[in-house]
Amino acid sequence: MATHHAESQSLQPTILSYLKDLANLCSLAGLACTLLSIYFSILGIYYAAMIGMIWAVAFDWADGLVARKMKGRTDNDKTFGMQLDSLIDVVNYGVAPAVLLLSYGKFELIFLPGAFVILAASAIRLSYFNTFGLSGGTKYTGLALDNNNIILVFIFLFEMFFNEGTFSIVLYASFLTLAILNVSQLKTPKLSGSPINVYILAFYTLGITCLYAWKLL
């Protein structure tokens, strides 16, 4: 029995061996973008944070596309990739937006409940999806979390038309609305599954990047 256990342990892949998987590297690239987004949010350089947030979505979509095109992936490879993607999604669409809200609100106590709602909604939404998957095999139950970043980087384009106090309220209300939609019974399509939507996101990402880079100059 001990020998069998030792053999099974020796056949188990190492943790870092999964870094050879290109899809996992895409997931980690998205995590790096989110880290930059969090960093710039804390510094108050919000336009740079927006660039990080939209590129996190781009890499999140890319990892699924790459995974589907890769041949020879084992069940363990797929399971590891799904777990990694899900954990990173909590950071991409939960932690980063929560930090953005707190930072824009000057870390005042009133913004703390909103940050918690964002985090809680992302964790609940992902746990539900990991348990039940797509509704009818084609649609999400609740607004998919990647839509949050796509919408928020667009909303932030209008920041210049408001004073800081007013826009902090707009941002707060936007976050809460998205969080409600995330955990609702709303049925939404899987946008990343369509090649046309992938091209649209690519152009959107490049456009958003150029706009915010121009604002930074």
State residue 8's pLDDT score: 52
Residue with tokens 């609100």: 105
In a domain? residue 7: no
Cα(47)–Cα(70) distance, integer angstroms: 35
> pTM for the full model?
0.91
In a domain? residue 5: no
Half-sphere exposure in the Cβ direction for 181 (13 Å, CA): 15
Q: What are the per-10-residue average pLDDT scores of the chain (217 residues)?
A: 52 90 95 98 98 97 87 89 95 98 98 98 96 90 96 96 96 97 94 86 97 96
* Number of independent structural domains in the chain: 1
In a domain? residue 111: yes
CATH of the domain at 192: 1.20.120.1760
Residue with tokens 């920041």: 159
State residue 129's pLDDT score: 94
* CA torsion, ordered 85, 144, 149, 15, to nearest 10 deg: 0
In what helix (H) or strand (E) does residue 216 lie, and over which residues does it extend?
Answer: helix 195-216
Cα(31)–Cα(48) distance, integer angstroms: 15
* 25 in Cβ contact with 77 (< 8 Å): no
DSSP 151-200: HHHHHGGGGGGS-HHHHHHHHHHHHHHHHHHHTS--EEE-GGG-HHHHHH
In a domain? residue 105: yes
Range of the domain at 107: 20-216
In a domain? residue 145: yes
Helix axes 146-155, 96-104, angle to 10 degrees: 30
State residue 71's pLDDT score: 85
In a domain? residue 9: no
Residue with tokens 């707009």: 170
In a domain? residue 8: no
In a domain? residue 12: no
State residue 10's pLDDT score: 59
